[in-house]
Structure 1
Amino acid sequence: MPPLLADVVAALETAYPPALAQDWDAVGLVCGDPAEPVTRVHLAVDPTAAVVEEAIAAGADLLVTHHPLLLRGVHGVPADEPKGAVVHRLIRAGVALFAAHTNADAAEPGVSDALADALGVVVEAPLDPSSGIGRIGRLPGPESFEAFVARVGASLPTTAWGVRGAGDPARTIERVAVSGGAGDSMLHLARAAGVDAYVTADLRHHPADEHLQRSGAPALVDVAHWASEHPWCEQAADVLRRALPDLTVAVSTLRTDPWTLGGHAATPPSEKEGP
């Protein structure tokens, strides 16, 4: 007999306890009958319509995502609204939806452990001991900041956003802090940790600029939010494969980063070649 949805939820909540979630978060089972059997599970960062269609096409009974579908309060889920359309499509197709968000960030191992592992960073401690979010670790050996930025770019899924570095290209990098998802609220913790570089997503102009003006501030690497959290999908897939070997578990191949085009700064007319 295949495991029940309740069994799969129990395995996920053992790895990512709901009690670790922030009080504003919305984690756990979004839709689905705990008494129904599950044979196939699909994992993704975002519960977008395209990901739902991918899961249905794969024959999944359960879609597990990092980002919650209903994070902010709603008063209804009509099928002619984006979130409502997703709920209706899932229910009609018999696919359950489960989200592990800030509880997966704070778990050990969690989102930032997966990011660190993807970058070759050996984790030593949490970046924020009070919440368990973020990680501090070491590279296998020292390398230049330029080489480290290239390492990050080669280690994460490609996005239009790309990878941006702020710091001296020749600076030696050995100790690193990472935080999957938006992490500029922890810039002060990265400075206090005395690391050489901090990798996160969604860094804003003013907080980044003010951070870099402080003495001893680590160099910054800014990546796409989706790319920083995608390594977690394989981590969660392994959790389920170990706990419930009879499950077929797959990770989404879709890029759900919302940015679709990248570009280069225009060359000022005075600098263009030719007459």
Structure 2
Amino acid sequence: MVRLREVIGALEEAYPTGLAESWDAVGLACGDPDAVVQRVLFCVDPVEATVDEAVDFGAQLVVSHHPLLLRGVHGVPADDPKGRIVHRLIRSGIGLYCAHTNADSAVQGVSDALAAAIGLTVRRPLVPHAEGAETGLGRIGELPEAEPFRDFVNRVAQNLPTTAWGVRGAGDPERPIRTVAVCGGAGDSYLATAAAAGVDAYVTADLRHHPAGEHLARADVPGAEVPALVDVAHWASEWPWCQQAADIVAAALPDTVEVLVSTRRTDPWTVHAGAASDPGRALA
């Protein structure tokens, strides 16, 4: 029989907790390390929908990317959204383990999974922990051959799960794209880093109006060239990691633990109204 602590051991060998940022809350959020585990569900968000899926699957453990209790709490009452999840997990005999910024920075982590999903060969971290280190945030990779930016944006859209948010591109549609930086999750704090890396495009999530606009405006400076931008839904950018983590556990504990990657779309956006084909028409 496999114990929960053995599953945790496999996860922490791949995603060492020492790589987590100081503000993060990674590790076992609830559950008995000595509990027997036969089935594990992997997801981005520990929310009602994924707990439903875990219960239906008969899981004894949920492994999520995002922590349930990231900020300090003073209680988990059952009439609170997060408290309700904790109570339901415990009543159902399901543990919850979170691998967040440690999975972001690890070798073969979240951004590696994103890069692989869109067909990149990874060369190095975007923000290495130290010079020459393989660990760090984001990744820089290459496509097999250059393609127009419009095609690259379509490539990203076709290889990530569909969301109401969609995939947006900012840049010359005909610009050739070969080298690409990626950062799973919110990555606009690394816009300048991506530009300094000299890549052709930067793929991340949650890009805001002003940082994106200011980044693109730097292209007007003589001699400057900034990456084109691809903005995807936060959940979609991190979802490929779920299969990566599931494969790690399945390989470490073969024929003893059954794994399932959640297919519940937990992206909060649910409706998208298409843009006008003629932007000027919206101002008429």
TM over 0.5, shorter chain: yes
Structure 2 match to 1:39: 38
Structure 1, 125-134 or 110-119: larger mean CA deviation: 125-134
Pairs within 5 Å for 1:183-222: 183-214=187-218, 215-222=224-231
Whole-Å separation in 2 of the counterparts to 1:257 and 1:264: 18
SS at match of 2:52: helix
User: Equivalents in 1 of 2:247, 2:11: separation in Å?
Assistant: 11
Task: Please list every run of at least 4 consecutive aligned residues from structure 1 whose deviation after the TM superposition is greater than 3 angstroms.
Answer: 265-268
3-state SS, counterpart of residue 194 of structure 1: coil
Could you say what secondary structure the match of 1:117 adopts?
helix
Q: Deviation at 1:90?
A: 0.1
Partner Cα distance (1:90, 1:140) in 2: 44
User: How much identity, in percent, do the aligned residues show?
Assistant: 65
Matched, 1:232 2:232: no
Secondary structure of 2:2 counterpart: coil
Q: Which amino acid aligns with 1:250?
A: L
Is 1:103 aligned with 2:102? Answer: yes
Shift of 1:50: 1.1
Ranges in structure 1 where 5+ consecutive residues have no aligned partner = none
Q: Residue 267 of structure 1: CA displacement? A: 8.4
Report the counterpart of residue 221 of structure 2 in structure 1: none
1:19 correspondence with 2:11: no
Distance 1:186 1:58 in 2: 38
1:157 and 2:161 aligned: yes
Corresponding pairs, count? 270
Q: Secondary structure at the match of 2:75?
A: coil
Which residue is equivalent to 1:139? 143
Normalising by structure 2, we get a TM-score of 0.93
CA distance in 1, matches of 2:166, 2:274: 12
Displacement, 1:260? 0.2
Residue equivalent to 1:62:
61
Cα displacement (A) at 1:99: 0.2
Tell me how far 1:265 sits from its aligned partner: 3.8
Could you tell me which residue of structure 1 aligns to residue 125 of structure 2?
A: 126
Distance in 2, Cα, partners of 1:190 & 1:136: 9
Aligned to 1:76: 75
- The residue identity in structure 1 corresponding to 2:182 is V
1:254 equivalent to 2:257? Answer no
Unaligned stretches of 5+ residues in structure 2: 130-134, 219-223
Distance 1:264 1:56 in 2: 36
- For residues 266 and 248 of structure 1, the distance between their equivalents in structure 2, rounded to whole angstroms, comes to 47
